């Protein structure tokens, strides 16, 4: 099976994948409840209004890293003959750790000490949110790889 980064970054597929990533994030933010949900929604609204297109650009910048981290799961699901969405959702904790590895690596190399400390404090909460997003993420990827 072709590597997931090669599939998701194909010229005709990439814009649809990026749209899907933004839709997943929008849906995840909208699903948050309580005071922490209100804070997440408010922060996300500020980011989107202050810098339109920022979210999509961030996904575009990280698409290769994102898909590389999920490729072992994609390949294993294919080898097992299982739908990717079910396979990845059953391994949501592992998938969340794999994806958070991207920001973990960036945090390690950050020069700003305050940024590093802030990330370390938020990291445990981030895992919970990424795990919750795995079903939507896996369905979006499955949809965008159905023809391969």
- The burial of 142, by beta-carbon neighbours within 10 Å (0-12 exposed, 13-18 middle, 19 or more buried), is given as middle
pTM (two decimals) = 0.89
Domain locations along the chain: 4-143
pLDDT per residue rounded down to tens, the chain (148 residues): 999 999 999 999 999 999 999 999 999 999 999 998 898 899 889 888 888 899 999 999 999 999 999 999 999 999 999 999 999 999 999 999 999 999 999 888 888 888 788 888 888 889 999 999 999 999 999 999 999 9
Q: Say what the pLDDT of residue 144 is.
A: 97
3-state secondary structure of 50: helix
Q: How many CB atoms lie within 10 A of CB 1?
A: 12
Q: Say what the pLDDT of residue 86 is.
A: 97
Q: Say what the pLDDT of residue 51 is.
A: 86
């Amino acid at each position: 099976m072709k590597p997931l980064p090669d599939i998701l970054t194909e010229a005709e597929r990439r814009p649809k994948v990026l749209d899907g990533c933004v839709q997943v994030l929008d849906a995840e933010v909208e699903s948050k409840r309580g005071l922490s949900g209100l804070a997440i929604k408010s922060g996300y609204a500020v980011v989107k209004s202050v810098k339109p297109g920022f979210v999509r650009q961030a996904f575009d910048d990280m698409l290769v890293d994102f898909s590389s981290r999920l490729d072992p799961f994609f390949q294993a699901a294919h080898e097992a003959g299982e739908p990717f969405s079910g396979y990845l959702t059953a391994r949501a904790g592992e998938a969340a750790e794999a994806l958070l590895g991207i920001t973990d690596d960036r945090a390690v190399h950050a020069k700003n000490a305050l940024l590093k400390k802030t990330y370390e404090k938020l990291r445990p909460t981030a895992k919970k949110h990424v795990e919750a997003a795995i079903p939507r993420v896996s369905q979006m990827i499955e949809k965008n790889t159905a023809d391969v």
